[in-house]
Amino acid sequence: MKSIAITFLIIIGLISCKHTPVVEPKVPVICDSVNVSYSRDITAILKNSCYDCHSGLAPVGGLHLEYYNVDSSLASDNHYLLNIVNGNPDYIYMPPPPYAKLTTCELAKIKVWTDAGCPNN
């Protein structure tokens, strides 16, 4: 009888053990488009929006965006990278839906990095 009661308590415990979401305090997003670094900012943007398709063993179109030389040549080639992510109608648009468009801050960072000559910083 005791073991039934204990089993019952354990089951109740498991059922009621719900995960309470932690409410994160809202921190204002500050866009630092002055100090842009390839290793910190640009790779983070590409990781977020592009690596799902353009990395790994079978990257789409054979385009593997995890390498500095690939990313920098894409960006420095007449602002090609910027043109495909900022919605220039003359270019194929990336990332395709349902991926979110790059934010104004992300676009600004890509522009600053490209204008600076795509440093490997």
User: Reduced to 3 states, what is the DSSP secondary structure of residue 75?
Assistant: helix
Q: Which of 95, 113, 114, 118 binds ligand HEC (CB under 6 A)?
A: 95
Length of the chain: 121
DSSP 31: -
Q: Are 112 and 119 in contact (CB under 8 A)?
A: no
Q: Is 109 in the site for ligand HEC (CB under 6 A)?
A: no
Stretch that binds ligand HEC, among 9-17, 20-28, 50-58, 110-118 (CB under 6 A): 50-58
In one letter, which amino acid is 20?
T
Binding site residues, ligand HEC, CB under 6 A:
46, 49-50, 52-54, 60-61, 63, 74, 81, 84-85, 92, 94-96, 99
